[in-house]
Amino acid sequence: MTSDNTDERNAIEAAAARLLAGTPLRSNGALTAVSLAQEANVKRHVLTHRHTDLKDLFYARVRTQGQVPDSERKLREELDTIKRRLAEAMEHIHSLEHDNDMLARIVNLLATENTQFREQLHTAPSAVVRPLRQMPM
């Protein structure tokens, strides 16, 4: 291992310790790879491509402390929002299906009554249609 790699690894390990202790010096203190790279004063790709073991170890330590990285917390919140919206949409769909069934029954009943009225009209030879009296307003 070169001296540069050793220096980077030492800086990343020290930065991880500061972030986990809640005492950041160079970053916003979020428990993310971006903050870890800022805290260690290394490029993010150095952490995510060259020192993936340290990044993974950092996330493992975050979880063992009972903390959740900000990126995971945001994804969980987004998932909860999506699940809630899906449940609301499913409830709305069930309501619409119920309404649709009810309307289909009503249309069927009206069609049956219409057929019966037409049959009565054709079978009654002396049927006279008279207008109803209009009510005064």
Residue 17: its pLDDT value, please? 92
What is the pTM for the complete model shown? 0.49
Q: Is the pLDDT of residue 121 over 90?
A: no
Q: Is the pLDDT of residue 79 over 80?
A: yes
Domain range list for the chain: 3-67, 70-119
61-70, 87-96, 111-120: range with highest mean pLDDT: 87-96
2-6, 65-69, 77-81, 129-133: range with highest mean pLDDT: 77-81
pLDDT in tens, 1-44: 567 788 999 999 999 999 888 888 988 888 888 999 999 999 99
Whether 12 and 53 have beta carbons less than 8 Å apart is answered as no
- Range 63-87 average pLDDT: 85
Q: Is the pLDDT of residue 125 over 80?
A: no
